[in-house]
């Protein structure tokens, strides 16, 4: 199986909240963009939280708006082997170095995990001194909650 490499972090010194996913989908890897799958609700939810029509913007404008709002984006895994896009298919994962976050984002205080697979690193994040929250996945595979239910949880976490 081919080894896949994730995306570079979207983070700058203004970041106060980091959203950590597990690993980019095949659509995201192909586009070299976070949350590129058209059915993923990430940009729609984040846009509703920060009051910007992110879903309608091009990728560079989405990233700029997220960073202007103090939100960073990354994944817990730097690389892995995986067939398809499901988190359950991730094998031989190599973690990203989360300890480096304090250098690149001194204002960062909270890390929000986008789903349970990413949250497997919650103890490590808490040991680094960050507040950690597990949010419902924005993935189309997570259909157990309505958009509105997800939005309520995401808004509380990102605006607090």
For helices 147-159 and 42-50, what crossing angle results, to 10°?
50
For helices 42-50 and 59-68, what crossing angle results, to 10°?
40
DSSP-H helix ranges across the chain: 26-31, 42-50, 59-68, 101-104, 122-127, 147-159
Matching residue, tokens 């929250």? 133
Cα 135 to chain centroid, rounded: 10
Active centre residues (catalytic)? 40
What is the C-alpha to C-alpha distance for residues 138 and 115, in angstroms, rounded to an integer? 8
């Amino acid at each position: 199986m081919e080894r896949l490499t994730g995306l570079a972090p979207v983070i700058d010194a203004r970041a106060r909240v980091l959203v950590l996913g597990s690993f980019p989908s095949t659509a995201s890897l192909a586009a070299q963009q976070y949350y590129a799958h058209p059915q993923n609700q990430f940009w729609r939810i984040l846009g509703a939280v920060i009051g910007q029509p992110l879903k309608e913007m091009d990728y560079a404008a989405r990233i700029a708006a997220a960073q202007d709002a103090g939100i960073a984006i990354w994944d817990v895994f730097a690389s892995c082997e995986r067939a398809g896009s499901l988190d359950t298919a991730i094998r031989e994962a190599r973690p990203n170095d989360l300890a480096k976050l304090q250098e690149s984002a001194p204002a960062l205080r909270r890390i929000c995990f986008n789903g349970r697979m990413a949250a497997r690193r919650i103890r490590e994040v808490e040991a680094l001194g960050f507040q950690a929250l597990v949010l419902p996945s924005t993935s189309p595979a997570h259909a157990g909650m309505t958009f509105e239910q997800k939005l309520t949880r995401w808004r509380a976490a990102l605006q607090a």
